[in-house]
Amino acid sequence: MLRVLVVAALYYGAARLGLLQQLVRDQVTPLWPPTGVALAALLVLGVRVWPGIALGAFFVNVFLGPSVLAVLAITAGNTLAPLAALLMLRRAGLRPDLDRLRDVLALVFLGALAGMLISSTIGTGALVLSGAVEAGDFWSTWSVWWTGDAMGILVVTPFLLVLRRARWPVRASPGRWLEAGALAAGTVLTTLLVTRTPHSSLLFLVSPFLIWAAFRFQLAGAAPCALTVSTLAIMAAAAGDGPFDQEDLFSDMVTLQAFNGTTALTALLIAAVITERNRTHEEIRRICARFALMVAQLDPRPDGYVFPPFEDDVQPGDDEAPPWGPAP
């Protein structure tokens, strides 16, 4: 019961943060953190905490929904979507550590893109049927809802999974700390610069920092960097700054979510590839060390024995006694 209440509280708190950057009807945002919280809770704690998700979703929407039926429908969609995503991810064999490329691809395509179709469709349909959103605005509202939930999975869930395993790096050298500080400062400053400059082509100047984070710190560095970049970009879009100063909501959303999606995919995919490479290299090193030990232990040569040469080393006409065999 305590875990259910904690999940509900975390869901509600994440929702209040997400609503600060709403774009449609004070409740549809380009990044919906509670979805990421819900999936992370289900991956770590199991299906039994789903009432916490439903409880948190209900308390979030009861103050926003146009009617009780609409609130109940939205709550059902917000609960069913992460549950469906969990079932698909389990079927795909996902490991919460996200240390394999297949895990990241499953999270992207099954958890984010496929699973969140449920919440966006039910939620937008409830708003249209209740009259809170015009029927002609269905697809624009649906696209914001779907991409917002999907981005919650892509940037919040990996961050929480990393946070769960985080330990203080007591053996880190001063150079490592200096590198981490330079990476964090460079990521924040570059993102602030490109999201305040009215040129969308400059947005991807943050990519080198994401690659840096993934190569040097794997998921532990890539996930926080992706979350930071996406959050700052969404804040700029909500304020209408930089490349998000267009009048059309749909155009702003395309620019924003294309940038956020590329950011998350770049960070997660490269981190997974580097982690797999490092693990393979370490496994090869262990196998080589084990093989060398086995050879050393099983060496059958008696003391003083000299191995015979290869046949190609024996020249015609060599009639002296062969130099191999026990040493005299």
pLDDT for 186: 94
pLDDT given for residue 326 in this prediction: 47
Residue numbers in the chain where pLDDT is lower than 50: 306-307, 310, 313, 321-328
Q: Tell me, what's the pLDDT at 187?
A: 94
Q: Give residue 6's pLDDT.
A: 93
Amino acid at 272: A
Identify the bridge partners of residue 28 per DSSP, sorted by sequence position: 24
Please tell me the predicted confidence (pLDDT) of residue 258.
87
Q: Which residue has the tokens 């490092």?
A: 278
* Bridge partners, 24 (sequence order): 28
Give the pLDDT confidence score for residue 23 in this predicted structure: 60
User: What does the pLDDT read at residue 197?
Assistant: 82
Task: Say what the pTM is.
Answer: 0.82
Q: Which helix (H) or strand (E) holds 205?
A: none
H helices present in the chain, as ranges: 2-18, 33-45, 50-61, 68-91, 101-106, 116-129, 138-151, 157-164, 174-194, 207-239, 249-298
At 65-118, the pLDDT tens digits run 778 898 999 999 999 999 999 999 999 999 988 888 999 999 999 999 999 999
Look at the alpha carbons of 180, 181, 182, 186 in this order and tell me if their dihedral is positive or negative: positive
Whole-angstrom distance, CA of residue 271 vs CA of residue 292: 32
Give the pLDDT of residue 299.
59
pLDDT of residue 327: 46
